[in-house]
Amino acid sequence: MKRSMKLPGALLLSALPLAVIATPSLGAEPDDLTLPAGFHATVVAENLGDYTRHMAFLDASHMYVSTEPQTKGAANQGVIALHLDAKHHADTQKHFSTIHNGTAIAVYKGALYTSSPNTLYRIKLSNKELAPSAQPEIVLDGIPGRAAIAFDGKGNLFVAIGGGGNVCAPETVSRTSKSVGPMPCPFLETRGGVWRFDADKLGQTWSQGEHYATGIRDTNALAWSKGAGALYVVNYGRDAAEKAYPEIISAADGAHISDEMFKVTKGTHMGWPYTYYDSAKNIRLAQPEYAGDGKTPVTDAKYAVPAAAFPAHVAPMDIAIYEGTQFPAAYRGGAFVAFHGAGGGDPGGHDDGYNVMFVPLDKSGKAGTPQVFADGFAGPTRDDKNGKRARYRPVGVTVGPDGALYVAESQKGRIWRIAYTGK
């Protein structure tokens, strides 16, 4: 049966009154962040560096932060170990290893999993030492690029990786130039999707994995929901299509080529490189390389409907499922997403993103209306939401053992703890 890929308007970020969703808390928040009433932020760590990325906890006092140095061989690359005191403030920090990727980090069964661009390692941890003395063990080798990882707690390791380009073309092809659309796209054979591996086995190779889902242009954000028993991924949409095909895609259309959130099951196809999702028109459209005209909906039901569709260039960098009990019931089981915001863009303009969004998820895993949870990172005005001017840019989110939400940013390397007090 053929059907149009149409998403209910309630799930579209573009339809939300962004300026009024994040209600300022009573009293000043650090860095003038705006949070829902009853939530308050404190600074956990600062000046960790502009390579700060994602976080993972061993226990309440041991946090690990992944890094992605911009220069090969940069000083202090690797993983940052932070010791948190009773007030949740980092009183000690230490770099260890030379493993740097930025997105693939997790603690599973008392071990740290962290990745280089091609290899996923396991390092056994102990709460008696800050930086682990154990040597890295290879879990997975031959990964064809930067990865994001998640564990389902049932013996499965999921690894997501992008397609390696803006379109299905060699990386040397400019994203603003027209390109041929090969069918099928050969990149999807070994990347541009999600693979499943044995979570407890060492020495695996990429070719041994089960090809679980496909159609990802690029992603950094992957998480497993225990409550829904499902995997969630948030993808980057295509860039600069309006510059390559102005006769088909207007500048306004280009601003709605969605960054999408999906509930992923075995066989899910998220659309890249053949289609894109328009967050204003609420339809899936064919890419120009595949005879798309910017108007006619794709009716092939093999392409998944996104759980939530966001505007272009918000840059989803991380996702965390809230499985704590500190926050009110409405937040439990839902997803927090860190939006990094566009890194370049018009020097005189602004973009969306630069905040932390909350996407409610019911017990079946169905998404509700996205809402801004934390804002003000870039600065007090919307004009501050620009890659050249932003003060801070959220890059990582995780839920601590204490039930608070921890948010990391990439401009200076600052981490906040957001807790609910009800006051």
Instruction: Tell me which DSSP letter residue 19 carries.
Output: H
Predicted local distance difference test score (pLDDT) of residue 2: 37
Task: State the average pLDDT over residues 100-108.
Answer: 87
- CA distances (Å), 305 to each of 6, 269, 300, in order? 7, 9, 11
In this structure, is residue 2 part of a structural domain? no
Higher pLDDT, 322 or 346: 322
Q: Is residue 3 part of a domain?
A: no
Per-residue confidence at 101, pLDDT binned at 50, 70, 90? confident
Rounded to whole angstroms, how far apart are CA atoms 216 and 272?
6
In a domain, 1, yes or no: no
- In angstroms, the Cα distances linking 29 to 19, 389, 390 are 18, 21, 18
pLDDT at 1: 38
pLDDT band, residue 164 (cuts 50/70/90): confident
Residue range 56-72: average pLDDT?
88
Answer yes or no: is 388 within a domain.
yes
pLDDT for res 180: 84
d(CA 271, CA 220): 17
Note the pLDDT tens digit of each residue in 357-369.
999 999 999 999 9
| pLDDT tens digit sequence for 201-246 | 999 999 999 999 999 999 999 999 999 999 999 999 999 999 999 9
Give the dihedral of Cα atoms 338, 187, 299, 178; nearest 10 deg.
90
Is the pLDDT reported for residue 105 higher than 90?
Answer: yes
pLDDT at 17 > cutoff 70: no
Q: Structure pTM? A: 0.92
Residue 176 lies in a domain: yes
> Is residue 5 over pLDDT 60?
no
Answer whether residue 20 shows pLDDT above 50: no
Distances (CA, A) of 399 to 54, 101, 247, 266: 12, 21, 45, 26
Distance CA 44, CA 76 (A): 19
Confidence (pLDDT) at 99: 85
Least confident stretch, 19-28, 89-98, 334-343? 19-28
Q: Write the pLDDT tens digit of every residue in 281-314.
A: 999 999 999 999 999 999 999 999 999 999 999 9
Residue 217 domain flag:
yes
pLDDT value at residue 385: 92
Element (H, E) at 253: helix 251-254
pLDDT at 3: 38
Range of the domain at 360: 9-420
- With 0-12 CB in 10 A as exposed, 13-18 as middle and 19+ as buried, what is 194? buried
Three-state helix/strand/coil letters over 316-377? EEEEEECCCCCCCHHHCCCEEEEECCCCCCCCCCCCCCCEEEEECECCCCCECCCEEEEECC
Question: In 125-176, where do the E strands start and end?
Answer: 137-141, 147-151, 156-161
Mean pLDDT of the chain: 90
pLDDT of residue 12: 44
pLDDT for residue 14: 38
Residue 74 in any domain: the answer is: yes
Instruction: Enter the DSSP assignment of 131.
Output: S
Model confidence at 392, pLDDT cuts 50, 70, 90, reads: very high
91 phi, psi to nearest 5 deg: -100, -10
Asked whether the predicted pLDDT for residue 330 surpasses 90, the reply is: yes
Higher pLDDT, 120 or 382: 120
User: What proportion of the chain, given as a percentage, has pLDDT over 90?
Assistant: 79
Residue 188 has pLDDT above 80, yes or no: yes
What confidence tens digit (pLDDT) does each residue in 41-53 have? 999 999 998 889 9
> Is the pLDDT confidence value at 8 over 50?
no
The mean pLDDT value for 324-351 works out to 87
Q: How far is C-alpha 326 from the chain's CA centre?
A: 23
Split into its structural domains, the chain has a count of 1
Torsion angle in degrees (nearest 10) through CA of 123, 124, 129, 134: -70
Q: Confirm if 149 and 115 have CB atoms less than 8 A apart.
A: yes
In a domain, 4, yes or no: no
Which H/E stretch holds residue 62?
strand 62-67
Give the CATH number for residue 410. 2.120.10.30
Whether 323 shows a pLDDT value over 70: the answer reads yes
